[in-house]
Structure 1
């Protein structure tokens, strides 16, 4: 209950969409505008994670399409070689006195029909029959591979379209947030900027050692995340010069030799779930019911994370918003 109350209070705060509150609550009007800005940042972050997911799927499909197309090209070459061999055989038959009916059938575009009739052709030899079977098998394989490549290409185009839609959604939310910033009083804008630079309630100082990391890899990942403090938030970025929330944690664990999924939703399942009360430095702290934000526990009740546009990588209280889960990679 206390975590939920703290998260609700953070969501209404005009200081930072990550949940940190300014020292001065400002006017009621500023608080309302600030809450709208924070909500837009939250929605933009959710769209960013959907964009990241679509980008990951697109990259995987690009590899699959490339493989399928290369495989189809190799199979086309084999079909061409077999067709050429059959044509050469037919030429030899013609020069020796005319094309055997069975050979003529071999060169048709309907080898299946040929096989149906082959049983009635007593002049077909085993050698010709074997060549035709290889040719028929190669054609069938080519057709299947070409169809697979076409299917993968269609999926890729849909993923690219989805990525474009999510990009537009992110830009729309961020543009609306920027416009609302001009509605705030000068004092409130200055306060929000101060809070972002200072890391909200948590400040930007490195938290004390507290508990030890669960492993050397977690310790190395936390060291990498700490080294990124002060670097800008850029949606869709995964380092080394800028980050979004899941991009930071993926990059940090990558520096420790651990491969994490790209999105905060997938990172939630990238390890063992532990209670918040047992969190140790290096654990992933996932926020909101939709798991649209993730940070890394840094000890002493703080996380290091990439909050939102305009706020660089920083430390904030772990209870800055409702915690969805804690994952130990």
Structure 2
């Protein structure tokens, strides 16, 4: 059977396409070579002289592991952002606690001076004793009945009461933020470990294949993506719909300029990206700061239907929203797919669409 001529996508010359495919094969081969030093941990090894592992079966398992790794990566990125925010809030609250404590101390010092003056002038009356009892609420409740609370002292005690309440509230908030921070750091560590575990397992599986099988898998993956994007034709038709806005046009151009860039977990450019990192970087070029993760990006703009999608819109994939791409027109997105792959075009129907967002 005669194979159709390989389509040449916009922004890519035949020589560049060949070089990128070679780079991709080398990247996958290097990952698999590294995996040879890692215990297979359950991966099926071929028996000496027996048949090699099933290539299709390995690909299916590796794809699943990459999906789980991407989910862990998005959780890790979200936890990292939360940790930074909580640390900043905790620091601000601790600064406010110190400031409030200083105000309380100053007010108590002023009241102590009033008490000292009262004592020197003839002893300490019951009102002053109440004032120094450390219970401003009790003082205010009882001073009126004693008829001995001067207006100035009453104002001072009210101020002290307000300051003490603010101090107690800030202390409670700071304690809560620090507890949240500890929980988020634990989640971050778990997500990072899950990411590394899935990657090691995927590499070990790839290590069970021959170099030729690995090269064929890499070529097959890219070929299938291009066939989905071009719908089996010899060219990519992105349609003629304009971007949804001037800024969307800038973000789209930035993303298209990164075709062929490698996928790296947690990367936000300019030379490597994960899925949400590519969206984050592209829109930054348009002066817009998106949330960092695909789940957060799903709520980073106005929801529209897929039928309304225009170039520059975000397309969020899968029920848990762990993947994102940018609509480029003609039922096609540009996205950073998975390790060993490069930023490329993909049919919007290749993955289940969870949401479409107009920034």
Structure 2 Cα separation of the partners of residues 141 and 274 of structure 1: 44
Shift in Å, 1:199: 6.9
How far is the alpha carbon of 1:184 from its aligned partner? Answer: 2.0
Q: 2:207 aligns with which of 173, 178, 182?
A: 182
1:75-154 to 2 correspondence within 5 Å? 75-154=100-179
Higher mean C-alpha deviation, range 139-148 or range 271-280: 271-280
Name the structure 2 match of 1:219: 249
Counterpart Cα distance in 2 of 1:190 and 1:210: 33
Give yes or no for the alignment of 1:316 onto 2:340: no
Q: CA shift at 1:42, angstroms?
A: 0.5
Provide the C-alpha distance between the structure 2 equivalents of 1:199 and 1:215, rounded to a whole number of angstroms: 32
Structure 1: segments with no counterpart, 5+ residues: 1-14, 17-26
* 1:225 and 1:252 in contact (8 A); partners too: yes
Aligned alpha-carbon RMSD (Å): 2.8
* Partner of residue 285 from structure 2, selected from 238, 255, 258: 255
Q: How does 1:1-329 map onto structure 2 within 5 Å?
A: 29-194=54-219, 201-202=225-226, 210-211=239-240, 212-329=242-359
CA distance, structure 1, for counterparts of residue 53 and residue 152 of structure 2 = 91
The one-character-per-residue Cα deviations of 1:193-229 (angstroms, maximum 9, x if unpaired) are: 4456x57532899956632222211110011112223
Q: 1:28, CA displacement in angstroms? A: 7.8
The alignment partner of 2:105 has SS state of: helix
Q: CA deviation at 1:172?
A: 1.2
Q: So what's the TM-score if we normalise by structure 1?
A: 0.82
Q: Distance in 2 between matches of 1:207 and 1:73?
A: 62
- Shift of residue 39 of structure 1? 0.2
Deviation (angstroms), 1:277: 4.6
Q: Which moved more, 1:309-318 or 1:136-145?
A: 309-318
Cα distance per residue 1:100-146 (max 9 Å; x no partner): 33223222222223333323433332222221221122112211111
User: 2:103 & 2:304 partners in 1: Cα distance?
Assistant: 55
Taking the aligned partners of 2:298 and 2:312, their CA distance within structure 1 comes to 13
Post-superposition offset of 1:271:
3.2
Number of aligned pairs?
A: 304
Superposition TM-score, scaled by structure 2 size: 0.76
What SS does the corresponding residue of 2:64 show, helix, strand or coil? helix
Q: Distance in 1 between matches of 2:271 and 2:123?
A: 74
Preserved contact between residue 70 and residue 322 of structure 2 (Cα < 8 Å):
yes
| Change in CA separation of 1:130 and 1:311 when aligned onto 2, cut-off 3 Å | same
Judge conservation of contact 1:243–1:306 (CA < 8 Å) in 2.
yes
CA deviations on 1:62-110 (whole Å, 9 max, x unpaired) are 3322332222222111101101111221222233233333223222222
